Amino acid sequence: MNNSVVVGWIKSPEGQAAIDAAVEETRRRQGRLVVVHSSKGGADEDPNTVVELRDALADLEQRLGADGLEVTVRDYVRGKDPADDLIDVAEKEGAALIVIGLRRRSPVGKLLLGSNAQEILLRADCPVLAVKAR
């Protein structure tokens, strides 16, 4: 049985809440943690932001590894929706669980902007744990 936990990460309070919950689940399952960051990329993306995110991911990987977790980081910039990347990784890993952070949104915001969280909840083949930032 695969005990991998896949977590979607963004640099935000919601991303940190997802990491915290995923670490707890990974320890409980005595599994491996796979951190996924996905962005569209392209000409509109600020190069300084890209460097900042890569540094934050490297720091995250180092901190989690130093805590004794088996961690893999996947950083995708290939134009896909984050939901697609997260589900792809979970399927390839045979993940036992996906963890995502949720933002508070108004009903109109959900309608106009779509929802990666909703897409993940509906399409994932494994259980999904959705957490909010405090």
Q: Exposed, middle or buried by CB within 10 Å (0-12, 13-18, 19+), for 72?
A: middle
Instruction: Tell me how far CA of residue 44 lies from CA of 1, 50, 51, in angstroms.
Output: 42, 11, 14
pLDDT (tens digit per residue) in 70-89: 999 999 887 788 999 999 99
93: in domain:
yes
86: in domain:
yes
**Residue ranges of the chain with per-residue pLDDT less than 70:** 1, 41-45, 105-114
Range of the domain at 53: 8-13+26-132
| Predicted local confidence at residue 44, as pLDDT | 64
20: in domain:
no
The enclosing domain of 57 has a CATH number of 3.40.50.620
| Predicted local confidence at residue 50, as pLDDT | 76
Number of domains in the chain: 1
| Predicted local confidence at residue 63, as pLDDT | 93
| Predicted local confidence at residue 112, as pLDDT | 47
Beta strands in 13-116 (DSSP E): 32-39, 70-77, 97-102
pTM for this structure?
0.88
57: in domain:
yes
Closest CA to 15 of 71, 57, 58: 57
2: in domain:
no
Strand order of the β-sheet with 97-102 is 70-77, 32-39, 5-8, 97-102, 128-132
1: in domain:
no
| Predicted local confidence at residue 108, as pLDDT | 61
Count CB neighbours of 59 within 10 A: 10
50: in domain:
yes
Count CB neighbours of 123 within 10 A: 14
